[in-house]
A and B are shown apart, each in its own frame.
Chain A
Amino acid sequence: MSDTFDPRLEALAEAVAFAHASDIPGSEVELAAKPTTEQLALERTAALAMVALAPTVQMPKALQDRLAAAGLAFCAEQRRRRMAAVPPAVTPPAVTPIGSTAAYELSGPRSSRSVVGTLLISLAAGVALWFVLRGEPMVPSAADQRASLLAIDPKAVHVPWKPGPSPKSGTVSGEVVWSQERQEGFLTFKGLPPLDDDHRFQLWIVDGNREGAPVDGGVFGLADANAETVVPVQARLPIGKPAAFVVTVETKAGVVVSKQEHVVAIAGL
């Protein structure tokens, strides 16, 4: 029991209980920079008491989203570190340059193409030929490109969008489709906020294998934020291990590194 007076222990207990007020006049005891086991035990007791005393308060939605984004970034970094510690067992896949049209290849052998994919590509080629014969420009829509990608690569991942922490964030729905093998992807959106003429959306890809800022995935605008729209990913660099796709609002020309002041959509793998 604590009936025995131990000045040293009592002083330590007081310092722990009022550690948050150690800069206030009246605090005679400073905690040691390198805590003793005795101090650690009292600190753990104080932590347990804090849990028992802590109120559970619903946090704001914006903070929830901010923490979710921080969690995704942490996981990406953690995986990158772990993978960096292990030498790669296989050679990374060849990288296909990404662009709204360059990504759409109508010919060229690929061992992984399925029969269905080949048929779809043949059909697309036929449609293209029909356009050429009619003298109209052959520009497949992003939705068509997305459908072709899904047929070609059944392993392409689908990741749903969640609204970001920005107050500008709308009620976004839709998904990211990303083919790691082909390094191609498409974003489907509905419900992003409308933007004025001076601003655009910019996609960022958090790469678990890459240190530093997320990879620029392209700048885009939406004619109608309420209509479902498909946008091709235009990654500026090869993506080793996609961990998250993040959409921010930036100035019209886009930025090299985002301050992430207005994150309006997040899709985490």
Chain B
Amino acid sequence: MTDLLLPKIAAGDPEAVEAFLRRHSNMVWGLARRFCRSAEDAEDATQEILVEVWKSAERYDSRAGSEVTFLMTIARRRLIDRARRQGRRPAAELLEDAGTIAAPAQKDRAEMHDEVQRAQDALAQLRPEQREVLGLALGHGRTHQEIAASIGMPLGTVKSHARRGLIRLREMLGVDAERGGAS
């Protein structure tokens, strides 16, 4: 487990902020590029997410999960809010090849919490179609209709794979309903 940075950030420690940026900002940027309609929008989203995480740092409880999960919970909400505010939809040129999501990207595991590694392992254990649908929905911000069109699957089946896959993932990860994480 790596050093906790969020408590230091809550105290206004610039070195902790710098370390946090080194550790996580490229991941946030990678996601923002997938969810936003332009590079400029992705830059704004990245800054909005990181500033909100710093402002929320006082609320971080390490017992509820890793810092990266706290970060990603906030990132996801911000990206969803921005998509709704802006009438959503990433620009086609920013979307990456859907085929690349079938195998989760390898990360620098030394910097990742066990919890995240377990998430990667759990994803790998899902049924291939569940993994594909969840990858497109959660990892790329695609809608059910876009997924149905891109992989040639009926809309109802896409939804079914998404919900069953997420529930299965939660079971495998043992995410406690009483300990939902960042709020």
Q: Which residues of A contact B (CB under 8 A)?
A: 1-2, 9-11, 13-14, 16-27, 35, 37-60, 63-64, 66-68, 70-72, 74-79, 82, 208, 243, 268-269
Contact = CB atoms under 8 A, between A and B. Distances in A.
Contacts of A70: 47, 50-51
B123 interface: yes
Interface in B152-173: 155, 159, 162-171, 173
A53 B169 CA distance: 13
A269 B167 CA distance: 47
Contacts of A59: 25-26, 29, 46
A74 B21 CA distance: 13
Given A56-B105, A56-B107, A74-B17, A48 B31 contact: no
B145 interface: yes
Contact of B177 (A40, A49, A72, A208): A40
B35 A20 contact: yes
Contacts of A63: 29, 43, 46-47
B163 A13 contact: yes
Nearest to B183: A40
Contacts of A55: 27, 30-31, 33-34, 96, 100, 105
14 contacts: A14-B159, A14-B163, A20-B84, A24-B145, A40-B181, A41-B179, A42-B166, A53-B101, A53-B138, A56-B107, A63-B43, A75-B13, A77-B12, A82-B11
Nearest to A74: B54
B14 interface: yes
A29 to B, nearest CB: 10
A52 B50 contact: no
Nearest to A19: B80
A2 to B, nearest CB: 5
B14 A75 contact: yes
4 closest A-B pairs (Cβ-Cβ)? A40-B180, A53-B139, A78-B12, A21-B143
A50 B141 CA distance: 10
A63 B45 CA distance: 11
Contacts of B3: none
A14 B72 CA distance: 19
Given A49-B138, A56-B26, 7 more contacts: A13-B162, A26-B144, A44-B69, A55-B100, A57-B29, A64-B21, A67-B21
B180 A41 contact: yes
Contacts of B43: 60, 63, 66
A193 to B, nearest CB: 22
Nearest to B118: A48
Contacts of B142: 21
Given A44-B73, A54-B105, A2 B119 contact: no
B56 to A, nearest CB: 12
B12 A82 contact: yes
A240 B132 CA distance: 55
Contacts of B170: 41-42, 45
A52 B27 contact: no
A74 B75 CA distance: 18
A45 B10 contact: no
A10 B47 contact: no
Contacts of A9: 167
A2 B47 contact: no
B119 A48 contact: yes
A56 B29 CA distance: 8
A43 B78 CA distance: 13
B181 A54 contact: no
Contacts of A39: 180
A38 B176 CA distance: 8
B69 A48 contact: yes
